[in-house]
Amino acid sequence: MADPEAGERWLLYGVTDAADQPPPRLDPGPGGAFGRACTVLHAGPLAAIGAGLPAELQVAQPTTADLLAYSRVIEHVHAQTTIAPLRFGSVLKSAAAVGSYLQENAAAYERLLTRLAGTEELAVRIVLAPPPAPPPSPPSATGIGAAYLRARQLRHAQAALLQAAGQARAEWLRAALLPLSRAHRTELIPQGEQLAVAAAFLIPRGTFAAVRAQVRALAASESVKLTVSGPFPPFSFAELEPPSATP
């Protein structure tokens, strides 16, 4: 393990419960981002997974390999115990600052870890093509300006139809998976002329294959094209409850 006092800053990966269980094993395990070995920093009933960083390292300029390494460390810990993952770039100035952060947010993290215990994340993505444009109304005026306005109105109407279709599919997913999950998050993401429905569901550990099969069967019954991925650590469900601060 790395020396907790090495480096001037600490890149945090996530927070785990240290009260009633041994710390997660990090060695052997995947290497961390920027090639920095990870360690476990304890503070009361909590522990943070982190890595010391030299002052000159630019955290804001990670490579794809760094981001993948960061995710692999979180997945390695998730395979052993419950972890509240942090977003890449969560950096504190010292090991002492990490301890203070955990102490200040201990109650919030204990509640969060209780909610995440025994869970994993399943992701569903649906990409919707733009619907046919509604038929134009008879023109009340002619000329270049009038034609431009009519085309703009048609684009707005088509965008509204696509947004409504996305919301309907998001609700369809939510209703279908609500009995199988503990929480969900849905986002509508524009992709050029298309719209992606990105949904995440917090499901009990060990149920991913069964839930995925049900999602695929439901999609086939309604001729809906979608992708199901996972299982992941609960990345989408790891926010602390306000008013607690984040790093």
Sign of CA dihedral 131, 137, 140, 144: positive
C-alpha span between 158 and 193 (Å, rounded): 10
C-alpha span between 162 and 85 (Å, rounded): 33
* CA proximity to 39, closest of 87, 82, 7, 84: 7
Residues 6+ apart with CB under 8 A from 224: 126, 169, 218
Domains of the chain, CATH where assigned: 9-116 (no CATH), 119-237 (3.30.70.260)
Q: Over pLDDT 70: what percentage of the chain? A: 83
Compute the average pLDDT of residues 115-137: 84
Quote the pTM value: 0.80
C-alpha span between 59 and 89 (Å, rounded): 6
* Better-predicted residue by pLDDT, 155 or 45: 45
Q: State yes or no: pLDDT of 244 exceeds 70.
A: no
Where do the DSSP E strands lie in 111-167?
119-128
Q: What does the DSSP 8-state code read for residue 235?
A: G
- Least confident segment among 27-36, 46-55, 104-113, 211-220: 27-36
What are the tokens at 223? 């001729």
Residues 6+ apart with CB under 8 A from 51: 2, 7, 10, 11, 13, 32, 33, 34, 36, 37, 38, 39
| Confidence grade of residue 135 (pLDDT, cut at 50, 70, 90) | low
Convert the pLDDT of each residue in 163-195 to its tens digit: 888 899 999 999 999 999 999 999 999 988 889
Q: State yes or no: pLDDT of 201 exceeds 90.
A: yes
Q: State yes or no: pLDDT of 69 exceeds 90.
A: yes
Where do the DSSP E strands lie in the chain?
9-17, 39-43, 46-53, 83-85, 91-92, 119-128, 183-191, 194-204, 227-232
C-alpha span between 24 and 98 (Å, rounded): 18
Convert the pLDDT of each residue in 4-13 to its tens digit: 444 479 999 9
Burial label, 172 (beta-carbon count in 10 A; 0-12, 13-18, 19+): middle
